[in-house]
Amino acid sequence: MTKSTTRFSLLVFAFALTSSLQAQPVLLANGTLTGSRAGANADLSGLNYTLENGAAANLLGGLGSGLAYASGNVFLALPDRGPNAMPFDSAIDDTVSYINRFHTLTMEVTPNTAGGLPFTLTPTLRDTTLLWSLTPLVYGTGAGLGVGSGVPKGNNFFQHFFTGRSDNFDPKQNSGDPNNARFDTESIRVSSDGFSVFISDEYGPYVYQFSRFTGVRLRSYKLPDIFYVAKPGPVGSTETSSNTSGRTANKGMEGLAITPDGRTLVGIMQNALIQDAKLGSDAANLLRIVTIDILTGQTHQYAYLLTTGSGVSEIVAINDHEFLVDERDGKGLEGGDGGTSNKAKVKQFFKIDLNGAVDISNMDGSTAATHAVKKTLFLDLVGLLTNSGFAADHIPSKIEGLAFGPDVKTGSATYHTLWVANDNDFLLNTADSPSILNPNQFLVIGFTDADLSGSTFVPQFRSFPFEH
């Protein structure tokens, strides 16, 4: 489907919109993806072996850990560290040598003539790109952990693949060592020229740049040392208790934005750093935002205070200084309290502004918390979805991927689209009895500048020399 086709489909509905819809965000469409043309629940990686826990190496799942808009009707979807939701080996947090990857999708949006939402959305998997390093990486031996080596079967002389296995690190270095093979991918953004992607992670936290078309790592960005744990370990809870500073295990750089000019990355931590959390009070809810100059690697830090959810899952740029932050809890479909009895509560998107914000790079958590950026509620997703016919216990618990897509235009009015995706933890069905489907879901939300309360949305500049 071409860019013009997508815009035409959206245009059809735009003419039907009334002025009442201009006053608040509206759900335009939702779609699911559970398989590919290669076979049911399989991606297009070409990997045809089984992982340590028996799962297929090409299992398709977790697509909404990160979501990025490329151009036309093309999006990139990012799984996290792999299928580790099923008990396997607690000595390595049930992780396996799943090769990190991202998927290229096309999103076909067509008018819905059958009633219900204005559009139907059909996501289609087009490609799977594996992530690797040209230089050797450090893998765990598995000694004493009840499991074999962490080297993935796909490795060869030139390609050293990143994996989700928690013991694939050098114990003599801190968690920021770029030679480590372990990688828990959480957010993805496309460069302005379209040739590379930026991906953030929870293990380091790492921020890497990869070739979009080959998957080879091009660059590693160094974060301030306060974000790294000095004593990395294969078990998250033990790793956190063994360190006095650094990111909390499995709560690293969950979100990553790129400014519309393509010059700055803006990452946000899921939870407070260990040294901030132990101070208590507001510092325990202090999430550090890190800006990274893409050319120089220079960083700055800003303070965000968590107020409603249990953590932040994503950040996306409205313009060069304002952002939407996805704050959520773990409740909802396949959530922490268990299945369909677990009704979604907090899935909220807040608008923040870094203009005039105080750089907290050299501040402790308590001091930094007094300089938190102001935030205003942009959208209560649970309210929008329940008003659109979703049952609260069928709203995905892990709303983690956000991306702005193509605009809808009619006359002088412009409608922007916010695309939302979930991480289903590679679990295609819930653990309920009877079990229900738990697919990768995608939502399309329409909004106007008026919904941004005085802010102006600026799409990312793109200098692509080709059409996707």
For residue range 323-340, list pLDDT tens digits in order.
999 999 989 887 655 444
**Residue 258: HSE in the Cβ half-sphere, 13 Å Cα cutoff:** 31
Least confident of 226-235, 238-247, 444-453: 444-453
Predicted confidence band at 433 (pLDDT cuts at 50, 70, 90)? low
- State residue 233's pLDDT score: 97
CA distances to 4, 108, 182, 320 from 171, in Å = 52, 46, 12, 39
Least confident of 236-250, 283-297, 441-455: 441-455
- State residue 39's pLDDT score: 54
Read off the tokens for 236: 């998250």
> For the residues 86-92, what does the mean pLDDT come to?
92
- Closest among 357, 382, 392, 352 to 371, alpha carbons compared: 357
CA distances to 184, 219, 364 from 211, in Å = 18, 10, 37
Count Cβ atoms below 10 Å from residue 153 Cβ, excluding itself. 13
Q: What stretch of H or E contains 73?
A: none
| Gyration radius of the chain's alpha carbons | 21
For residue range 388-428, list pLDDT tens digits in order.
999 998 899 999 999 999 987 644 656 799 999 999 999 88
Task: Strands of 214-373 (E only): list them.
Answer: 217-221, 253-258, 264-269, 286-293, 299-305, 311-317, 322-328, 347-353
Q: What stretch of H or E contains 3?
A: helix 3-14
Least confident of 1-15, 118-132, 335-349: 1-15
SS3 assignment for 187-250: EEEECCCCCEEEEEECCCCCEEEEECCCCEEEEEECCCHHHCCCCCCCCHHHHHHCCCCCCCCC
Least confident of 38-42, 294-298, 303-307, 426-430: 38-42
Alpha-carbon span 178 to 136, nearest angstrom:
11
Quick one: CA torsion of 36, 37, 40, 46, rounded to 10 degrees? Answer: -80
> For the residues 234-262, what does the mean pLDDT come to?
97
- Closest among 83, 76, 88 to 98, alpha carbons compared: 83
- Closest among 146, 141, 65, 50 to 98, alpha carbons compared: 50
- State residue 12's pLDDT score: 39
Q: What stretch of H or E contains 399?
A: strand 399-404
For residues 181 and 139, the answer to whether their CB atoms sit within 8 Å is yes
- State residue 235's pLDDT score: 97
Alpha-carbon span 165 to 145, nearest angstrom:
12
Alpha-carbon span 182 to 132, nearest angstrom:
11
Mean predicted lDDT score pLDDT of the chain: 90
Is pLDDT of 460 > 60?
A: yes
Contacts of 11 (CB under 8 A, 6+ apart): 408, 409, 410
Q: What stretch of H or E contains 186?
A: strand 185-190
Predicted confidence band at 6 (pLDDT cuts at 50, 70, 90)? very low
Degrees, nearest 5: CA angle 166-270-164:
20
- Closest among 75, 47, 80 to 63, alpha carbons compared: 80
Q: Identify any residues that bridge with 349 across adjacent strands, giving them in sequence order.
A: 326, 379
Alpha-carbon span 344 to 116, nearest angstrom:
22
Q: Identify any residues that bridge with 327 across adjacent strands, giving them in sequence order.
A: 312, 348
CA distances to 28, 64, 94, 165 from 235, in Å = 42, 24, 9, 11
- State residue 468's pLDDT score: 42
